[in-house]
A = this chain, B = another copy of it.
Amino acid sequence: MQRYFLNNEISETFTLTSDADAFQHFGRVLRAKIGSQAEFVTPSQKVIYIAEVETLDRHEMVLRVIDEKDAGDIELPISIDLIVSPLKNDRSDWLVQKATELGANRIIFTKMTRTVANWDRQLPKKQQRLQKIAKAAAEQSHRLKIPEIVFMSWQDILKVPKDAGIVAWEESARHNEHAALVSVVNHHQHSRLAMLFGPEGGLTENEIQDLSHHDFLSAGLGPRILRAETAPLYALSAVSLLCELV
């Protein structure tokens, strides 16, 4: 069943007006009729409401809650803040989509020394666009939470609140470092982890030093060289495996 996020709490019947994303998708894309059902999550994220269309026209849709279900353990038990560089072409779009499906808590973009993509002139538009992608992906993957898309300076990401930090560093992989990721994840269940990934050209020595002074531990992600947008997906899958399947 399709899931939608609402911006406010609801009572037993509630109305979606034509300016709402849920109206656009449920009403127009999926062509909901009287009796069609969907799932709705409100900001409190406590339960999932199953609601049925009672009346609809071109401007609004009235729905009645017919059931509620427990949200279960759908969110990753470790809260992961991904810290990444803006990437070229549509690679940031799909990183946001996939990282949302795989359970990221926040996705923080920061300009690094070797960042190529230049978003300076279009930051608010980019933020809006990526936030929209995150919302759609959270609905599609049946999450309770939409990852927040944030832009920060390098100085600010060094101070992001965290219980532990990891930086995926190519050189760690070359030196066959392979224990850090598993060890950090296993020692920080139910806590807050920041994971940082370099841009296409990699991190500089200075950046690695900065990060190591701020408690980011270098970690290898296996022997193959992963692209800037692939490494975060590997790390999120690894966290899920260690926390949810092992």
What is A's interface to B at a CB cutoff of 8 Å?
72-74, 94, 98, 101-103, 140-143, 178-179, 181-182, 220-227, 230, 233-234, 237-238, 240-242, 244-246
Are B179 and A245 closer than 8 Å at their CB atoms?
Answer: yes
Partner pick for A224 among B74, B220, B223, CB 8 A cutoff: B74
Are B244 and A242 closer than 8 Å at their CB atoms?
Answer: no
Most buried by B among A98, A223, A240, A242: A223
- Given A94-B94, A98-B230, A241-B241, 4 other A-B residues pairs in contact with their CB atoms under 8 A: A102-B230, A178-B244, A182-B246, A221-B245
Partner pick for A102 among B141, B179, B224, B244, CB 8 A cutoff: B224
Main secondary structure of the interface of A (DSSP, over half): loop
Cross-chain pairs A/B with CB under 8 angstroms, 18 sampled: A74-B223, A74-B224, A101-B225, A103-B224, A140-B225, A141-B225, A141-B227, A178-B245, A181-B241, A181-B245, A182-B241, A182-B246, A222-B244, A222-B245, A233-B233, A233-B237, A237-B241, A238-B238
* CB neighbours of A221 from chain B (8 A): 240, 245
